[in-house]
Structure 1
């Protein structure tokens, strides 16, 4: 746990008692604060009281006397579509509102660091897609290189549940727009933007508000190095805003598909090869085509971002390349779960929409595609341009028959269940082919979440092993 600094003898309110809210309350108490808590759920409040927390009704203005700050969980709206009533009350009372990310950045450094040989550092990753894979890959590279490291934030451990920093440690954080939007302190050493595409627009009042939330990590934080994906105009704008000219190597531009040779520092992937350029000269190259844990152009973009972030803190290209080859990928995200009789089996259960499924379908050749579930508005007709490598589709779940009408001339079979899909694909797949679970649909017709769907697929595949 990281005790919160600067709160001793203050009364601090915590709104929301999920994982991050509970951890925040504990870290505040460890820092000497008097903590009061509130949650909209009556059962959650009862459990909190039973656990010894001081539950205080923060919807009543008379209960705000003496409260110095409100710390809210990231899932609770603070502006759009409307502030939560408790947050609106804090605004009316002039009480500062923050979140656990803000508390982490103001509490991470301690006087103990003066005795360290190497100052601990923070790499923070945000973006629309790929941030979990990029964060996990950076953490993996650091571990493989023998660097002390922790991972947390929107992935794994909550930030205040991390251990206090060790000498020379690098903490790698995944940060969502919900987390960056409100944090009053954002001071990473290296900040990464993977890419931008519309998401969470109701929460941010539109695409401009969503981008503004991401931009805060760079504009408010002033990182020593900024790694910026420039395949969208927002990334190009941000890189231009942060740099003092094309030769400014404090900004590392990253791309999957563009050749970036004119800048002070850039990392890009084209035709399966990653290239690093410094001041117009190529200084490193990595063949990504045989890196099984990072298939496809979208993962090559993640590899470029992770490479740039770890180069920015001094790792050598050979160290990074070696770690790429031992990275197994995150569960349910283009994860190779087996190779049986020359057939590759890939679990991309996280591909719950058309955009994610399209990325998966362009990452492999000769595909037997398992798709379906609870389809989303608009169906999958937009996937037709990406089906050229699909040998046959095996369609499951509530929307299986609807999907069959939307995939053009692609061969298909409606098989209803995952068990049937895996069995049929196993019977028909030929060496050199890939059986890909990329559902392009939610899981809720047959599974509680995409993780359970992916776990079922993986178990069925592993049962095929001789």
Structure 2
């Protein structure tokens, strides 16, 4: 646990009592603060009370008397689409509002660091797609190289729940736009921006607000090194804002579609090969085509970003390459769950939107595609140009018939359930085919989460005959 600094003897309100909220309360108490807890959910309050915490209604009149700050969980709206009433009261009364990310950065460094030979560092990863894989890959590479490392944030543990730093440690944090948007302190040593595509637009009042939330990681903190994907205009803009010249190697530009040799430092992947260029010359190359845990151009972009971050930390190319080959990938993200009778089965249940599904469809040949669920605004018609590798689709869930209409004349079958889709795809698959679950839809019509959907797919595949 990271004891929170700066609030000793002060009352600090905590709104939202999920994983990060309870970890925040414990970290505040460890730092000498007096946490005042509340959640609008009776179930969440009950769990907190079972864990030994008392709850105080922050919505009542006078609740913020004597309170020094309000720490809110990332999922609670603090501005758009409508400000939470408790947050609105705090702001109206001039109470500083922060989140656990802000507390982490104000509390991470301690006097103990004066005795360390190597100062601990933080690598923070944000973006729309690929940030979880990139975060996990950086952590994996560091562990493979024998560097002390922890991983937290939007993946794994809450940021205040990790252990205090040891000599030379690197903490790798995945940060969502919900987390970067509100944090009052953002001071990463290395900041990574993967890419940008529409998501959470209601929470940020549009695409510009969404990008602005991501950009805060760079603009507020001024990282020593910025690793920036430049395959979208926003990334090109951000790299330009961060670099003082084209040769400025404090900015490492990353791409999975274009050569970037003209800059001071760049890493890009083309036709399955990762290349590192510095000052106009290639200095390293890695063949990514046989790295099973990183299939497709979107994962090659993740590999480039992770490679760039680890090179910034002083790791050699051959060390990073070896770690690539031992990376198994993340569950539900282009995860190969089995190969049976010459057929590969891939669980990409995390592909809950069109953009993520598009990346999966571009990553594999000879696809038998399982898709559907609770469709999102805008539909899936934009996927039509990417269906060249799809031999047949098997549609499930609430949007099955809508998908069939939007993607006509794609050969398809309305299966309704995952059981029927897996059975039909397996029965018709031939050696060399890939049965791909990439739903392009939310899971909530049939499952509690995309994880449960992916687990069901994997269990059904495991039950198929070898």
Structure 1 residues 46, 449: CA separation in 2 closer, same or farther (over 3 Å shift)?
closer
State the partner residue of 1:432.
432
Question: Structure 1 30/257 Cα, relative in aligned 2: closer, same or farther at 3 Å?
Answer: same
Q: How does 1:255-334 map to 2 (within 5 A)?
A: 255-334=255-334
Note if contact 1:61-1:89 (Cα within 8 Å) is conserved in structure 2: no
Supply the distance in 1 between the matched residues of 2:289 and 2:181 (Cα, whole angstroms).
37
Match of 1:372 in 2: 372
Q: What stretches of structure 1 of length at least 5 have no aligned partner?
A: none
Question: Structure 1 stretch 455-464 or stretch 23-32: which is displaced more?
Answer: 455-464
Cα distance in 2 between the residues matched to 1:373 and 1:182 = 32
In the alignment, is the contact (CA less than 8 A) between 2:371 and 2:441 conserved in 1? yes
Deviation, 1:107, is 0.8
Q: Which moved more, 1:348-357 or 1:249-258?
A: 348-357
Deviates more, 1:119-128 or 1:391-400: 391-400
What displacement does 1:428 show? Answer: 2.0
CA distance in 2, matches of 1:214, 1:312: 21
SS at structure 2 position matched to 1:306:
helix
Alignment of 1:33-432 (within 5 A): 33-49=33-49, 51-432=51-432
Deviation at 1:100, TM superposition (A): 0.4
Whole-angstrom distance in 1 between the partners of 2:43 and 2:339: 47
Which secondary structure state, in structure 2, belongs to the residue aligned with residue 204 of structure 1? coil
Distance 1:397 1:93, change over 3 A: closer
Shifted more, 300-309 versus 47-56: the winner is 47-56
Displaced runs of 4 or more, over 6 A: none
Superposition deviation, residue 219 in structure 1 = 1.1
**Distance of 2:318 and 2:418 partners within structure 1:** 41
Q: Is the 8 A contact 2:67 2:95 kept in 1?
A: yes
Deviation digits for residues 43-93 of structure 1 (CA, Å, limit 9, x no counterpart)? 433443454434222223423222111111111111222321111111122
Deviates more, 1:21-30 or 1:111-120: 111-120
Post-superposition offset of 1:159: 0.3
The alpha carbon displacement at 1:36 in A equals 0.9
- Conserved 8 A contact 1:347-1:454: yes
Match of 2:6 in 1: 6
TM-score, reference length from structure 1: 0.96
Shift of the 368–63 alpha-carbon distance from structure 1 to 2, 3 Å rule, reads: closer
d(CA) in 2 for partners of 1:147, 1:448: 37
Distance 1:373 1:42 in 2: 30
Take 2:211 and 2:443, find their aligned partners in 1: how far apart are those partners?
Answer: 29
Instruction: Give RMSD over aligned pairs.
Output: 1.5
Deviates more, 1:109-118 or 1:20-29: 109-118
Give the distance between the partners of 2:65 and 2:405, measured in 1 at CA.
62
1:450 paired residue number = 450
Query: Secondary structure of 1:405's match?
Result: helix
CA distance in 2, matches of 1:431, 1:52: 56
Quick one: distance in 1 between partners of 2:341 and 2:307? Answer: 33
* Secondary structure of the structure 2 residue equivalent to 1:62: coil
Q: Give the alignment's TM-score, normalised by structure 2.
A: 0.96
Q: How far apart in 2 are the matches of 1:89 and 1:253?
A: 42
Conserved in 1, the CA contact under 8 Å of 2:16 and 2:73? yes
CA–CA distance in structure 1, aligned partners of residues 422 and 206 of structure 2? 41
Q: Secondary structure at the match of 1:448?
A: coil
- Cα distance in structure 1, aligned partners of 2:389 and 2:243: 41
The answer to whether the 8 A contact 1:129-1:196 is kept is yes
What is the CA–CA distance in structure 2 between the aligned matches of 1:92 and 1:444, rounded to whole Å?
36
Deviation sequence 1:156-210 (CA, Å, 0-9, x none) = 1000000111211110000011111111111111000001122222211222221
CA positional deviation for 1:465:
5.0
Tell whether the 8 Å contact from 2:197 to 2:355 is kept in structure 1 after alignment: no
Q: CA deviation at 1:211?
A: 1.3
Partners of 1:92 and 1:379 lie apart in 2 by 40
Segment drifting more, 416-425 vs 298-307: 416-425
Structure 1's 38 and 320: CA in aligned 2 closer, same or farther, altered over 3 A?
same
Matched residues, number: 466
Cα distance in 1 for partners of 2:445, 2:69 equals 42
Note closer, same or farther for the CA distance 1:129–1:448 as it changes in structure 2 (3 Å cut). Answer: same
More deviation in 376-385 or 233-242?
Answer: 376-385
Displacement after TM superposition at 1:259 (Å): 0.9
For the 8 Å contact 1:35–1:54, the answer to whether it is kept is no
Q: Deviations over 1:288-312 (max 9, x none)?
A: 1111111111111111111101111
**What is the distance in 2 between the residues matched to 1:50 and 1:292?**
44
2: distance between equivalents of 1:131 and 1:43? Answer: 31
For 1:55, what is the secondary structure of its paired residue? coil
Q: Partner of 1:133: helix, strand, or coil?
A: helix
